[in-house]
Structure 1
């Protein structure tokens, strides 16, 4: 059992995605990736808000409806009942008890759980626009703006998948740091360990966060609050090939005195082939990690960029 498995991270999830038969038709919407892969590393907390407010299963379908005065309600598709207030109350009560989770996976398109592009119907008709957010998901995201969230379908995209898992693990590390008590040393250590991860995701934010930690004008708690806002916003950016290449070249610089001429050529070629799209990201990173075992460097060994998530997930082999 590896480090990630020993320390399973608590993540919220729509119950139907891990096989609970809670959907309107008595079925589920099982995500094989969540159930068979991520469950080895995440301790899922399943929640179904529609069951939570007592709708039961099977049940009539519900939908988002926009009234003439632009108020969005959650009602039965046949208009026979309105569960807006019940759902909002459930969302508020549940949200207040979710400070311990480090991420959330929502069920796409759901009027309760969809995080984006949920159909909102015009009142009294069947025409709608896909510009809504599930009422429950909206409350969770509003109350926990730093919380990494994703939808089941979007996890099929390898870049979105890696980005979400990277954010969950980084946020969990931050939560652990806060639980132990914030200190200047803890903040600077966290920033140092995530230097190259930040550089790959958003170099401009990386450049601004260092000086933030160096100032003495704000109270420590305020500094920490501003830092993590910038940090999590930066990680939302999907790293580009250019961003990774720049980061890899910075890492390459640490070995210029230790490597012989052939080793330097090999590493430079691996990075350039990645830049051209001829090799996956894992190739130059594996070589850097190999050189790190030959020429140990404490600072580089602590870099989250080199090991941001479990190797078993194979998240860097496809790009």
Structure 2
């Protein structure tokens, strides 16, 4: 069966998609105990479609391996002050790590990254829920690694996720979808783009946005309609931030169901009563959790090809990421 190639191809680039990653997740033996935390999903699955840029902040500030473990400690006089110190020695690495993080995150801007995967729980790389110790020794899980914090501040629209959260099929699919969407968006804005082109970009992502946030889709539509009043740099920066923020919202079963019912409206004139009934039943089976999303999407793609429905053929929603990743088989 011929592969559907939606309009996302208009924004493709010959350069590989590049993703930053904590080195230990690729199997590099850089952890404090001399070990690693190799991720099969990253190395065996996603690695076939992207290039990784490996980073280990602790090694890169000069800490050896094996080494003393480090932890985040809250200041005794100022609860907002977080220090990065040796677990036993109390040696303070805060200033060195903060200076390194500023330099390294700036340098990563030249790596053309489309995403980043961080090591969970790490006092340097953890994205959230990292242990922060009070002077008394009690810990709360409300911190973020110093390097991870600098990365998220510098690149607010970059898809960033922790490897532990990628074990959740919905979070995994969301992250990879955002990586490919970010790449399309950056490829578009790196060209000699026009407002008409932005309208087209927004249009082919309509169903994607509706699955994540109908409200955001409407807000972005109004933004695009009024974009001619704004400076080009502001249009680019604001649209990127709003677009990627919308995709951070997890697509839900209810919203996927609404999107498919919307798509069915474009097929009604082409399908007989029996075929329409089967599609309605299949969508309801998905809504009730009886079949994964890929089942109904595959049939939609078949009908789009068979009847050459232009509007649906151009929708990125039908294939937001490579089908070989099989991400929609589990959501």
Measured against the shorter chain, the TM-score band is over 0.9
Structure 2 equivalent of residue 26 of structure 1:
34
Write the distance in 2 (CA, Å) between the matches of 1:183 and 1:276.
Answer: 43
Contact kept? 1:187, 1:224, Cα under 8 Å: no
Contact kept? 2:159, 2:178, Cα under 8 Å: yes
Q: Does 1:300 align with 2:312?
A: yes
Give the alignment partner of residue 243 of structure 1, picking from 243, 248, 255: 255
Structure 2 equivalent of residue 95 of structure 1:
105
**SS of residue paired to 2:267:** coil
Write the distance in 1 (CA, Å) between the matches of 2:108 and 2:204.
Answer: 27
Structure 1 equivalent of residue 153 of structure 2:
142
1:37-96 per-position Cα deviation (integer Å, ceiling 9, x unaligned): 111011000000000000011111110010111210101001441111111111111111
Give the TM-score of the pair, scaled to structure 2: 0.92
Structure 2 equivalent of residue 57 of structure 1:
65
- For residues 41-190 of structure 1, what are the structure 2 equivalents within 5 Å? 41-68=49-76, 69-70=78-79, 71-99=81-109, 100-123=112-135, 125-190=136-201
Question: How much is the aligned-residue C-alpha RMSD, in angstroms?
Answer: 1.7
1:221-269 per-position Cα deviation (integer Å, ceiling 9, x unaligned): 2223222221111101111111001000111111111112221111111
Out of 202-211 and 162-171, give the one that drifted further: 202-211
Structure 2 equivalent of residue 255 of structure 1:
267
**SS of residue paired to 1:22:** coil
Give the alignment partner of residue 224 of structure 2, picking from 213, 223, 232: 213
Give the alignment partner of residue 277 of structure 2, picking from 265, 268, 273: 265
| Count, aligned residues | 317
Write the distance in 2 (CA, Å) between the matches of 1:7 and 1:165.
Answer: 18
Write the distance in 2 (CA, Å) between the matches of 1:301 and 1:7.
Answer: 25
Q: Does 1:277 align with 2:289?
A: yes
Give the TM-score of the pair, scaled to structure 1: 0.96
Write the distance in 1 (CA, Å) between the matches of 2:204 and 2:119.
Answer: 33
**SS of residue paired to 2:113:** coil
Write the distance in 1 (CA, Å) between the matches of 2:214 and 2:267.
Answer: 22
Q: CA deviation at 1:6?
A: 7.2
**Structure 1 stretches lacking a partner, 5+ long:** none
